[in-house]
Amino acid sequence: MVSCVIRDWQGTETGEASLQLQVAAEANAAHVVHRALRRQNVNARQGTASAKTRAEVRGGGRKPWRQKGTGRARAGSNRSPLWRGGGVIFGPKPRDFSIKMNRKERRLALRTVLQSRAEELIVVEDFNDQLPRPKTKELIAAIARWGVEPQEKVLLILPQQQETIYLSGRNISRLKLVLADSLNVYDLLAADRIVATTSALAKVQEVYGE
């Protein structure tokens, strides 16, 4: 179980929250997390790269010059891979890079990563009512009050889509918003600090706790 201090909109400590998740054993935790991270990155590949072989390149039907007597090397087509504008030898073709991983393993990796980032986790009270209208400057100031350094990348976890928070934070380059039921290993590892509202933390416990 991990305990975290709860802060309000002004950054004042108001209480304590706990997060209890079933994580992987220390011996194989790194392996499970690595597999989940590799799966996420590889599955994001489109696999649409394609190069034409000598059979697909346009032209090359006529023999460039006769077989013998010219003093030049014999050539059967000007679309040979040896020629400029010719086909590509063993070039890329569309393919599926996706890797499969059991759902239980994926969730185990996610819980393990989330609990391992407990020291970088900041829990704040729900602040949707503090932003009656979108205001980027106010959200930046609040993040600073919560103890986040200006250069740090922040992952903000929300319980559900909240329009004013989304509009306030979408122009902040170092801030990424994600919903509590849509967490992923890459975002959790890439962030310097993770900020979660109390409602979001409760939802994380409900969705991923076992």
Convert the pLDDT of each residue in 93-149 to its tens digit.
999 999 999 999 999 999 999 988 888 899 999 888 888 899 999 999 999 999 889
Domains of the chain: 2-45+100-208 (3.40.1370.10), 46-96 (no CATH)
> 11 CB contacts (<8 Å, ≥6 apart)?
142, 145, 146, 147
Q: Are 158 and 203 in contact (CB under 8 A)?
A: no
pLDDT at position 210: 63
Distance separating the N- and C-terminal Cα atoms of the chain: 12
Task: For residue 146, give the amino acid letter.
Answer: W
Full-model pTM: 0.81
pLDDT at position 185: 95
The tokens of 188 are what? 């959790």
Q: Which residues of the chain have pLDDT under 50?
A: none
